[in-house]
């Protein structure tokens, strides 16, 4: 194969989901000898967009999806994206859209490009997901339960997200933790599915003033306002801090004793993997995406939305000897290196793209 494979990544934006960082790593890490990367997104908003822009790749601002209705005008409405794909002669369109939209795949296929999408979220059931999946040349899933969504689709593969474990490396950050407090951290865009209210309730039930919680993520949402009011109502203002969104969470992780993810739904929670790579002990709700990441650490899971059980787990962890906590952190980092490495992630995608073009 002499010509480079031209890949177009589509994503709504680089501000609302962790998949933007995953796409960044993929765009930066693919071998430029074999792949030519372009990106389509709706706008240049978001703190992370400047890092995407710094890659120097072609970035186009447009919406690759259109409303489905009215159906009789659908072919006309998808023509802009179809013509764009055809004019630029993209070989593969790889979608990172979270929704069940299938106008994007229809336009790509009519333009003569192969289409693959990464199933990121644990939503399923409506007919549009089935149409999108049927029209796609390939589907990438990110946890084991997702594979059951497509029982008749042969062209699918589980490819868990990968991270740069040298970037997420605790040795890069001196530990400045305060021994007079027990610091818990959670990282999430604050939307109801993240279940942070359960974590706040668990802190309240602990009734232990040395326990501090730092919440990192966009707290300007309506759900963020609800959580802040909950903290006030429970008189926990001195124990729970909302620190807003940060592109670099490593300094916060380095000073944490425990990372907790209390989500009600997750595809593959990269913030959890980042904490593990930083050797931070973790606790997570027992849902498919989290239980997949922690499949070898069942004792670190708690029943979803069960604040009382989470409280017990935190209490038990606080009582553990320091050396035992360090061992847990090291085991989690070792597991993230062996199962979620960036090198493995990149190699698997390169193989996927080669195979798609050869077929």
pTM: 0.92
Q: Which two tokens stand for residue 358?
A: 């050869």
Digits of tens for pLDDT over the chain (359 positions)? 458 999 999 999 887 667 888 999 999 999 999 999 999 999 998 778 889 999 999 999 999 999 999 999 999 999 999 999 999 999 999 999 989 999 999 999 999 999 999 998 888 878 999 999 999 999 999 999 998 888 888 999 999 999 999 999 999 987 665 678 999 999 998 999 999 999 999 999 999 999 999 999 999 999 999 999 999 999 999 999 999 999 899 999 999 999 999 999 999 999 999 999 999 999 999 999 999 999 999 999 999 999 999 999 999 999 999 999 999 999 999 999 999 999 999 999 999 999 999 87
CATH superfamily of this structure's domain 5-162+341-358: Glycogen Phosphorylase B; (3.40.50.2000)
Specify the residue for token string 């890069």: 172
Identify the pLDDT of residue 178. Answer: 62
Whole-angstrom distance, CA of residue 276 vs CA of residue 169:
10
Phi, psi (deg, nearest 5) at residue 140: -105, 125
The alpha-helical segments, DSSP class H, found in 116-155 are: 127-135
319, containing H or E segment: helix 307-319
Bridge partners, residue 72, by sequence: none
Q: Find, among 340, 213, 323, 322, the residue nearest to 278 by Cα.
A: 340
Looking from the CA of 35 toward its CB, the CA atoms found within 13 Å total 23
Identify the pLDDT of residue 289. Answer: 95
CATH class of 170-339: alpha beta
Identify the pLDDT of residue 156. Answer: 94
Whole-angstrom distance, CA of residue 57 vs CA of residue 44:
14
- DSSP letters spanning 290-315: HHHHTTT-GGGEE-TT-HHHHHHHHH
Specify the residue for token string 């909950």: 230
Looking from the CA of 134 toward its CB, the CA atoms found within 13 Å total 6
Identify the pLDDT of residue 328. Answer: 98
Identify the pLDDT of residue 5. Answer: 97
Q: Is the dihedral of CA 66, 119, 261, 49 positive or negative?
A: negative
Whether the Cβ atoms of residue 169 and residue 278 lie closer than 8 Å to each other: yes
For residue 357, the tally of other CB atoms under 10 A from its CB is 14
Q: Which two tokens stand for residue 334?
A: 């070792």
CATH 3.40.50.2000 range(s) for the chain read: 5-162+341-358, 170-339
Residues 6+ apart with CB under 8 A from 295: none
């Amino acid at each position: 194969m002499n010509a480079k494979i031209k890949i177009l990544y589509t994503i709504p934006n680089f501000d609302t989901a962790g998949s933007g960082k995953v796409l960044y790593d993929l765009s930066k890490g693919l071998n430029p000898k074999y792949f030519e990367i372009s990106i389509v997104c709706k706008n240049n908003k978001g703190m992370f967009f400047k890092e995407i822009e710094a890659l120097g790749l072609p970035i186009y601002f447009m919406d690759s999806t259109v409303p489905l209705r009215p159906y009789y005008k659908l072919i006309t409405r998808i023509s802009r994206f179809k013509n764009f794909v055809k004019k630029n002669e993209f070989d593969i369109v790889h979608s990172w859209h979270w929704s069940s939209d299938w106008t994007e795949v229809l336009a790509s296929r009519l333009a003569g490009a192969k289409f693959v999408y990464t199933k990121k979220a644990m939503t399923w059931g409506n007919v549009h997901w089935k149409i999108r999946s049927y029209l796609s040349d390939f589907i990438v899933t990110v946890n084991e339960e997702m594979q059951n969504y497509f029982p008749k689709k042969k062209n699918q593969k589980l490819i868990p997200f990968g991270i740069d474990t040298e970037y997420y490396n605790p040795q890069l950050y001196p530990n400045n933790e305060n021994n007079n407090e027990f610091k818990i951290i959670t990282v999430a865009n604050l939307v109801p599915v993240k279940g942070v209210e359960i974590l706040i309730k668990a802190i309240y039930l602990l009734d232990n003033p040395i326990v501090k919680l730092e919440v990192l993520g966009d707290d300007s949402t309506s759900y963020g306002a609800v959580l802040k009011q909950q903290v006030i109502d429970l008189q926990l203002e001195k124990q729970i801090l909302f620190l807003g969104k940060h592109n670099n969470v490593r300094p916060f992780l380095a000073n944490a004793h425990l990372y907790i993810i209390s989500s009600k739904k997750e595809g593959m929670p990269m913030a959890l993997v980042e904490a593990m790579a930083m050797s931070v002990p973790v606790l997570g709700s027992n849902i498919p995406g989290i239980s997949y990441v922690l499949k070898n650490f069942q004792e670190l899971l708690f029943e979803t939305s069960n604040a009382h059980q989470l409280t017990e787990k935190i209490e038990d962890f606080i009582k553990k000897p320091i050396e035992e906590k360090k061992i847990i952190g090291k085991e989690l980092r070792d597991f993230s290196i062996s199962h979620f490495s960036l090198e493995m992630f990149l190699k698997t995608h390169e193989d996927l793209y080669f195979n798609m073009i050869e077929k």
